[in-house]
Structure 1
Amino acid sequence: MYIFRGLVFPSLICLWCLTGLGDGARILASISIPSYSHQVAYRTIWKELAKRGHDIVLLTTDPMEGHFDKIRQINLSSSYEIVESFKVSTVISKSKNIWKLMQLGVLSMSEAHRHQLLHPEVQALIHNSSEHFDLLMVEVVFPLHIGFVERFKVPVIALSSMDAASAVHGLMGNEDNPISHPQLGFDVPTSPTILERTVSVLFNGLINIYGLFVVNPMMDEIIQQVFGKDSKPITELMKEVDMLFINVNPVLHPIRAVTPNTIMFGGGTHVDTVPKPLPEGIRKFLDDATQGAIYFSLGSNVKSNLIRDELRQVFIETFKELPFKILWKFENEELPNKPDNVMIQKWVPQADVLRHPNIKVFITQCGLQSMEEAIMNHIPLIGLPFFADQPANAIMMHNKGFGVHLDHTKLTKEKFKETIMEVINNPKYKQRSVEIADLLTDVEMTGLEKVVWWTEYVIRNKGAKLLRNPIRDLPFYQYYLLDVIGFVGVLSFIVIFGTVKISLLIYRLVRQMIVKKPKKN
């Protein structure tokens, strides 16, 4: 019996340690933006955390297919109907008005998040007194779900599937300069003029004012409706954030000074390294592309069936003249005047398509996840950005040499065809994508490993407040040294004014002593 215990008990201990069951935590993860690209960025993270023994309740608008041990998914896909009721896709695909798009985006996101938080399964989480979690992981793009922090009294990790907004970086104490790091959706050249710098500063200020006086009150109203009238305002709740995970990599993005509690996990973290078979129709179409194939997709938010008719016609006329086959992600069943060398598909397994050896170039809206998938498969890009971070991504791609940036508002058939042939026939673009991929993978720790390690760090230590930048707690006027500048300015004025007055007084006295008064007759 002693021998049995001596062999079995240590074995059980080893098994327990290896599976991580002893350290398993309950994690509430909320990725609330109704956009597939936002959701897919984190899927490898959820799977890895579950594999390490953590129980995850995932609020998502795009549930993963299949069953996953230790992951319970709450399906919030009905949020898409709320967003589409505002015609957001139409505005994104057709409009050039950034303010109209921003206002419509805020309204639609507010109502979608209200709908999510009032979802029966979410309400059951909120009102079940026996429910508990050890960590909240919440998307920070529109951070209404941070209201859960008051309900469960847990540490918070904020996540962004792209770079975080300027206000979020400022909240974390990171560098927040409107010239070197302008607001998402606003482009500043590498060497901006004084006018461009001024416009960027003013735009940054307008966005911050709009957020403070329009967006924040909107979020506060919803938080109070869902979590109670005594709930803290969003500005106070955001101060509870322990760490920020952003899908950024210095190989692709501008260098930014960040605090220890800001973790950059970019570089293809979401890309599944295990290829899957392509659907038979797509596979045969690409296999038959003996001269090569082009993959064309404007992503999940920009709809090819909703873009301007004249732009769609430019695409059709250009593709008709090319010797390549074109696989086009197109949302309708039919495309009028579709050329014979074009296949349209409502949905495409993009990462696996980009692995196909006949793909020569990827024409993309320049969403970050799409670009990462192309880079990791050494596919050069042609960028047609529409909104959000896409223009900045396209300029970055162009400057780094693994693709070409085009303006879809000024696109002609001649320019489009010339660019496609240039990117396909000039080997420098593919070679540069290989070099960028090598840089992204030449790391001491993968993005996934970093995210998992720091997530478990926050769980082990019940937060990460010791890594906070004390600048976060400084008032605005102290952070920008306005009090020091004012004090020095006043002191300098007093000294200069006093020096001038004393000098004048001395001058008058000396002058009176030197200049003799005229004698009386």
Structure 2
Amino acid sequence: MRLGCAWLALGLLLHLNLHLDVGLAANILGVFPYRLPSPFQMVRPLVKALVKRGHSVTMITPLGYLPDIEGVRHIRVPELNKLMDDLMETDKFLDLLGSKWREGRLTAKILYNVSHAILGNDGVQRMLRDKSERFDMIILEASHLDALYGLAEFYNASLVGVSCLNINWNIDYLAGNPAPSVYEPVSPIGFALDYSLLSRWHNWIYITEEKLLERLVFRPSQLRVFKKFFGYPAQKLNELRERFSIILVNSHFSMGRVRANVPNIIEVGGLHLSEPPDPCDKELQKFVDEAKHGVIYFSMGLDVMVKYLPINMQQTLLQTFARLKQRVVWKNEFSMMPNKSENIYVIDRAPQRQLLAHPNVRLFINHGGLQSVIEAIDSGVPMLGFPLFFDQFNNLHRVQLAGMAEVLDTNDLNADTLTETIRELLENPSYSERAKEMSISFRDRPMSPLDTAIWWTEYALRNRDTNHMRLNMEEIPLMRYYRLDTLLTFGIRFACVLGSITFLCCRLYQKHRNRQRRLLERRRAFMQMQIRMMMLECETAS
């Protein structure tokens, strides 16, 4: 009897445990239209961890980008591949370097085509028409693809954002964190990086212009797609923009920029470090191990190929590396480089994290991609940056201000300047010491970035309403939000003092003028009297 009761109790426990596991499992839809490999480095470990925890994940991605993940249903959108290929084959891509409004119009058209391609895809349409499909959460890039927010309303699902790049004012707005700032533009081309009063004024105008572009160009184009595929009114899109439960951002306060965040902005910088690094082959391992004077690792990332670099820059790099006594590992698609010196090891795909973790690697020369900067900080390796576009300038500027990097302009590069900068980074111990300090701070967290991302993602599943984590602008009067009450009080006091001083100066000036006028009148009267006396004397004499 007791044995039977024990088995019954065990069975009930197992059943309840199984029931709880199933109850926690959710259907999650991820939409990631990236056409570059680096952003997927952040997405991949998150998706794998969600699948491992029992969640059912469906992903919408371009064809061939992000290889199939076991346990994930993939919906591929080949139209996304064609859109990018067509763009790269035309001269329109060069317009991105023009004026902001021309850049904005072209970007809005690209984003319109991306949203339209995803929602118009046959596989996505079949999913939308299938009445048995349901999703508890929509995860997507928190960018200007507003039309895709309609998926959250269509499935009555939680909306979670991911930012693979640095945070900006638009992400702040989506997260309910509209703090007035002049430091985080969407596009940093032409944005001033110094903190002078004139630069701050310029940056305020710059970001105000971006906000106008978002309101007048980006959002209307997305609204057309939103209405076409979902049929919701414009007001619904505005509501969805305020429905983000959390936003996972690929940054951390230890990376050189401390900012004020609301609780639903979750910093998970280094999330991709949860995956095991690629190993070094024997030949590369031997090359690095036997470097008596240390190793310099040079890579322009996964997205920039050496063949696209200017020839003069390639020659400058070769000349500089030949002067150094350090060995150089160069990530380069040209396995047989002409004029290559013996201290250079060329490799098509380098095990970057494994190299940066090697004690002989003393300097990392890179383009300033966010993943590369994070890996250098994690390993405590000083950097020399060659930023080329978009967020790379800001990424490197922050670590330069932090004291672990130097930045050079690729348009004004010569062998002497490059050699001198490299030697300064290698011989001045302050760069290495600061890099080690930042590494310790970056790693010192209560939870790993992946565990943090998973916990908050499941928090959004458990708590559909997260308004308590956002700033409610309606509850904050304009006067209080911008501290205009303080400014008004100060302004009144200043105006009173200035008015009093002005009034006193005017009175003194008026008094001075009156005195001068009286003196002048006296002199005129005296002169007239003298003239009359002279006339009388002349008449008497005649």
Residues 383-431 of structure 1: per-residue CA shift (max 9 Å, x gap): 1112222212111111112221222222221111122222233333222
Partners of 1:352 and 1:454 in 2: CA distance:
29
Query: Any unmatched runs of 5+ in structure 1?
Result: 494-521
Partners of 1:77 and 1:324 in 2: CA distance:
45
Aligned counterpart, 1:317 = 319
Aligned counterpart, 2:46 = 45
| Mapped contact 1:394–1:405 kept (Cα < 8 A) | yes
| Mapped contact 1:304–1:330 kept (Cα < 8 A) | yes
Which of 417, 426, 429 is the matching residue for 1:427?
A: 429
Residues 95-127 of structure 1: per-residue CA shift (max 9 Å, x gap): 865736665544434433433333332222222
Residues 189-224 of structure 1: per-residue CA shift (max 9 Å, x gap): 45x233212211111111111121111122222333
CA-atom RMSD in angstroms: 3.7
TM-aligned CA distance change 1:463 to 1:328, over 3 Å: farther
Matches within 5 A, 1:46-195: 46-61=47-62, 63-65=65-67, 67-69=69-71, 71-76=72-77, 79-87=80-88, 97=98, 99=100, 104-144=106-146, 145-185=148-188, 187-189=191-193, 192-195=195-198
Give the superposition deviation at 1:252.
1.7
Matches within 5 A, 1:288-367: 289-331=291-333, 335=337, 337-367=339-369
Give the superposition deviation at 1:169.
0.9
Give the superposition deviation at 1:436.
0.9
| Mapped contact 1:110–1:218 kept (Cα < 8 A) | yes
Length, aligned pairs only: 488
* 2:61 equivalent to 1:27: no
Partners of 1:67 and 1:239 in 2: CA distance:
31
| Mapped contact 2:330–2:346 kept (Cα < 8 A) | yes
TM-aligned CA distance change 1:254 to 1:25, over 3 Å: same
Partners of 2:98 and 2:422 in 1: CA distance:
28
TM-score by length of 1: 0.81
Q: Which amino acid aligns with 1:444?
A: P
Give the superposition deviation at 1:237.
2.8
Partners of 1:331 and 1:231 in 2: CA distance:
48
Larger-Rg structure: 2
| Mapped contact 1:91–1:101 kept (Cα < 8 A) | no
Partners of 1:344 and 1:119 in 2: CA distance:
42
TM-aligned CA distance change 1:286 to 1:137, over 3 Å: same
Which of 259, 264, 269 is the matching residue for 2:267?
A: 264
Matches within 5 A, 1:481-496: none
Partners of 2:328 and 2:108 in 1: CA distance:
36
Partners of 2:150 and 2:69 in 1: CA distance:
28
Which of 384, 387, 393 is the matching residue for 2:386?
A: 384
Give the superposition deviation at 1:143.
2.7
TM-aligned CA distance change 1:459 to 1:95, over 3 Å: closer
Query: Any unmatched runs of 5+ in structure 2?
Result: 496-542
Partners of 1:113 and 1:340 in 2: CA distance:
50
| Mapped contact 2:143–2:171 kept (Cα < 8 A) | no
TM-aligned CA distance change 1:354 to 1:254, over 3 Å: closer
SS at match of 1:74: strand
| Mapped contact 1:381–1:404 kept (Cα < 8 A) | yes
Q: Which amino acid aligns with 2:30?
A: A
Percent identity for Structure 1 against Structure 2: 26
| Mapped contact 2:182–2:207 kept (Cα < 8 A) | no
Q: Which amino acid aligns with 1:120?
A: D
Structure having greater relative contact order (Cα 8 Å, sep ≥ 6): 1
TM-aligned CA distance change 1:123 to 1:286, over 3 Å: farther
Partners of 1:76 and 1:282 in 2: CA distance:
38
Partners of 1:177 and 1:118 in 2: CA distance:
37
TM-aligned CA distance change 1:74 to 1:316, over 3 Å: farther
Partners of 1:453 and 1:108 in 2: CA distance:
34
Aligned counterpart, 1:455 = 457
Partners of 1:217 and 1:338 in 2: CA distance:
53
TM-score by length of 2: 0.78
TM-aligned CA distance change 1:128 to 1:274, over 3 Å: same
| Mapped contact 1:278–1:352 kept (Cα < 8 A) | yes
| Mapped contact 2:298–2:328 kept (Cα < 8 A) | yes
- Which deviates more, 77-86 or 212-221? 77-86
TM-aligned CA distance change 1:175 to 1:94, over 3 Å: closer
Residues 328-352 of structure 1: per-residue CA shift (max 9 Å, x gap): 3335666554444444444334323
Q: Which amino acid aligns with 1:255?
A: V
| Mapped contact 1:92–1:302 kept (Cα < 8 A) | no
Matches within 5 A, 1:403-418: 403-418=405-420
